[in-house]
Structure 1
Amino acid sequence: MSSSTDRDITLIDELRALPAEAAWVEFKGNNTDPEMIGVRCSALSNAARIEGRDSAYMLWGIEDDSHAVTGTDFNPDMKKRGNQELPFWLARSLQPSIAFSFRMVEHPQGRVVLLEVPAATGAPVAFNGVPYIRIGSATPKLTDYPQRYQQLIERLQPYRWEQGMARQYVSGDEVLSLLDYSQYFRLTKQPLPDNRTGIFDKLEADRLIVRDVGERWNITNLGAILFATRLADFEAGLARKAVRVVAYAGKNRAATVTHRHDGQRGYAVGFEGLVDYLNGLLPRNEHIGTALRVVHPLFPELAIRELAANALIHQDMTVTGAGPQIELFSDRIEISNPGAPLVKPERMVDLPPRSRNEALAALMRRMGMCEEQGSGLDKVLEQVELFQLPAPLFRAEENSTQVVLYGPRGFADMTPEERVRACYFHAVLKFLSGDKMKNATLCTRLGIASKNAAQATAVINKALDAGLIRVADLDHPRAGYVPHWA
């Protein structure tokens, strides 16, 4: 017997053990009327959300009063509505579309058909344009019960990839094997409990696992992507979210690949190793001080760490077949992640970050893997200015976000666009610290000698023409400059 069949039998028996039907559970004998099923799908989905359930169920082959298994000859794949198969017709009749599933289960006491209906998420689920609700054994229109309607609206939740299931119906031993739980306790600075119950309670509290039927567990996408011992032990879509690092010998992708590494572990348990691996690949400059030879990295390590963490946190997990990628060239680093950014690239520094993966972001911050919310990119720009590097490039494409961090290059070797971008970000940093950009501060930022201050003036004028900065006080032009949105 497969694990999925075993789980369905256990689920059926737990539902049968309920004292009576619930708003999210309905037992049917052999009533297979398609219209009835459509109305019930809407009602059960909406009721499940109100009741705080992730799914609702309808079962055929279960006696309503005694909950005994009586068996059924209902085959949803053979049932038709007009000339359409029932599942196809039902999928077209429900709005918004929900991922319901019919499963035919050979229970030891007879054949049962199990219909699993996900709880409503973004909007009430309607059948042929009408949303229904389950009250007792009745399924009236939702709009006839405004109090229930309001309850549902308040509890509707958008789809969260993090709370999807990476692995269902696993034993406690499998949880402890699939997830590096000891690293979870170390990184969250919690003492490791001395018993399994304590371990599972903590993992459950952070929604890394959730209870399934039959004393089994489900591992959430959040738990797997952060703490998987091996991402390859989960489904292929999750494994492809691993971080890929590629290093080239030259300045473009036609150059020889010197290093290629695909991450094997969850983001949290593998992050320090990723950062160490990157630091080991980064070029370094040697400087001779007064007495000692000092080696400095070509790129600021703190900036690399923060940008790598950002790529993990802000990616669109629903983009299939793609994950974060870090590419090292001889003169720059490109860090990309799936999904267009939720804020405009030029406003990433000053606006509060918006993440598609709030639970993942919060847990990574709690574990100290990135800066507190809203301060990470500030630190990146501060490091870039400290190292006097060209301004980073934040680039949004249709299905990806990319950050390019450039290696050292003097003012004379910067492009006009790079100079204007450095001017804008310098004005942003000054404004965020309660100050204003001036010609002298931009000279320092770009490494321009004071005798050549006219070069900084020319850059400021181009930034003004581009609409990226403005004079802080029109009555006092020498007061300095601020970003255009300030």
Structure 2
Amino acid sequence: MTLYIEELLKRTEGKTLEFKRNLSSAANIMKTLVAFANSAGGILVIGVEDKTKVVIGVENPLDEEERLCSIIADSIEPRLVPNVELTAWHDKTLLSVEVFPSGLRPHWMKNQGESSGVYVRLGSTNRQADRELVAELKRSAEGIAFDELPLPQFSSDNIDVKAAQKLFVENRQLDEEALLTLKILTREQGRLVPTIGGVLLFGGKAREMHFPDAWVQCGRFLGKDKADIFDHTEIIDHLPVAVERVMEFLKKHAMRGADLSGIRRRDVWSIPLGILREVVINAVVHADYSQIGAPIRVAFFDDRIEIENPGILFPGLTIEDICRGVSKLRNRVIARVFREIGLIEQWGSGIPRIFKEAEESDLPAPEIKEIGMRLRFIVFLAESHVLKKAEKQIPEQVTEQVSEQVKRLLFCLKGQRLKGREIMDGLGFKHRPTFLYDYLQPALQKGLVEMTQPESPKSPVQKYYLSEKGKAFLMTKGMNNAK
């Protein structure tokens, strides 16, 4: 255990590790043990300064060990039996408590009761669980998937079978037997009724009625925060279709490349579509749809895309686990349907594939965080990454080619300094995102256009004008007759 303590002292506090100076804050220690048991387990080391990690040891270790075991027995329900050990560390003694993920969850603080005394571990903090999360902990301990539960208030007619059939291969007919096998439908007291998963997947109006928060909120923000949003949409399609709608939104706001081949035009996206598709699918499949007021959210910033789904990690899992490919399904019905229609290849393979693809594409490694009662996946973008990669594969003289959109913008600015709105009017545009991503930003990135207020890109008095490079381009490319 001494060597193990040495390794623990090198780590920072997190989901499965906490340090405490002594037993003076017994209530907080009990909350940590409860949270460990309800989440992914963990180790609490007593006798270490939690901020500096200076080892101070435990005075009267045998007495403190007995006192700690008594407090655990008196404070936590159902009964929790962790592994409590005394460990010599140089000339000091440490008290460690190892808690394993419990099959009796949820555990709670006895003095607070089951309704308000349940805690889970989020990062290095303990969070009080609400009613929905307590129910989720119970289901996970009993091996019950939320989306397999029946909805007896609805009938089989509430499932849009035609919409479902379009998504399956032609040789898979969704007759009654197939719908029961997929657990889109189930039998309840002699009646054929939809499951929660069936309604979430193909419920139509029934889903809107019973799960009004099962939708996807997408937003494109200017800059690196949420101060300035210029486009958003709400996606309420059937879940498999919603994945495609999210990808369409992301593509809409991704930069399109010019003619890089010199022979034919092709689109070059500045966002890693393969990675993002995997992340979106993961969010839809693993979301906790029992949470109220918590849609899936997709936020597109200039330097990253954040995808959040309601629900913390499934009990027993850590971020390190899912990065290694460990998978536990919260929504078995949704996951099986996604696999049947080809959206999922293999259980647990998606997250490792995302990190591998990011590495192979020379992109920053994505980040996964538990934020409140949500899981956030952050995909970082490399500036013009795909465009630069494509340019390396073509002759040098072609890389300076400029799209017809940028040529039109340059001609509009010839001899003038204009505001963005004035340029749009000159080009006959009303759709600002198209102007920004197909015209203005490519011109700025190529150094053909400059700003009068470069230190304040969003200034209301901002104007744009041709750089010396832009002027030279017009002269050498014979743009005087451009339309």
TM-score (normalised: structure 2): 0.46
